[in-house]
Structure 1
């Protein structure tokens, strides 16, 4: 295992948040066996798991960074990119696609001025494309966080965005 003398943790990973995570790690008996729990805790504290944080965790629990990276990349729950306050998921399943998901998708990209897997500059929204959200009867559909919105059009997309913007 490579030993890094400097702490390369990104400036967004503030000392107080690192201290909170480190205290959690120190409270555990089987640190390596609790890797997934540590990653969940890290993501709940920071909102995402950037490479710098993954390296920090690997050093703290004395495991190869490749093990941490492997777990993060395997489980879909974990994200290496900063997410916005709200995540908008566009359903691109068959029913939604047939009923106009492409228009919904392009409207969201245009209105938010971002692409998929990106976050708006104000850190308000992250845009995701998903295969199916299980709301075929509401096609085309989107989800904002855990709330489903159906029968979407260009106008209803704008209304939903403005609602979450507080307008």
Structure 2
């Protein structure tokens, strides 16, 4: 843990400042601190969870229990661009599985994984509530409707081009 903390000292300093500014530093602050820590680190590795447990005087099991319960929290690095493929009934019937397979093929990862360069993460959703637009893909909050496997290259390139222009 010490090595991770020393390698990420600036991030831990930012987390310390955030915690120090809280009116309460106990269990009532846990979800807020976890949310902010995930924003700082990009995910919640074991070292960050243990650190938060110590700072809030909570057991590591309590912190891990909250992290593992809420799907919002991630214990593994998440890509800069999050690709969510809806696999709800309407999307699935209209070919979302083939769209997912094309994303996996082109990015070289499976659903739930992140590319080695940390640029893309693929996840599946059960329903986004846009059945009339099926199949639906959501990338960083942007909704793509009636997506086909042929559209996947263009969608990925949209986000690669954004990277290159910055």
SS class of match (1:119): coil
Change (3 A) 1:92 1:13: farther
**1-side partners of 2:135 and 2:4: how far apart?**
39
Residue correspondence of structure 1 range 23-42 to structure 2 within 5 A: 23-32=17-26, 33-42=28-37
SS of 1:143's partner is strand
Relative to its length, the structure with more helix (as a share) is: 2
Q: Distance in 2 between matches of 1:130 and 1:28?
A: 34
What is the CA-CA distance between 1:141 and the residue it aligns to?
Answer: 1.1
Measured on the aligned residues, the alpha-carbon RMSD in Å equals 1.6
- Cα distance in structure 1, aligned partners of 2:112 and 2:47: 19
Measured in 1, the distance between the counterparts of 2:22 and 2:9 equals 20
Aligned partner of 2:11 in structure 1 is 17
Q: TM-score, normalised by structure 1?
A: 0.91
Q: State the 1:51 CA deviation.
A: 1.2
Work out whether 1:94 is the aligned partner of 2:76.
Answer: no
- Unmatched runs of 5 consecutive residues or more in structure 2: none
Q: Which moved more, 1:21-30 or 1:10-19?
A: 10-19
Flag as ranges the 4+ runs of structure 1 deviating above 2 A: 7-13
Count residues in correspondence: 161
Which residues of structure 1 form unaligned runs of 5+?
1-6
Conservation of the 8 A alpha-carbon contact between 2:95 and 2:135? yes
User: Scaled by the length of structure 2, what TM-score is found?
Assistant: 0.91
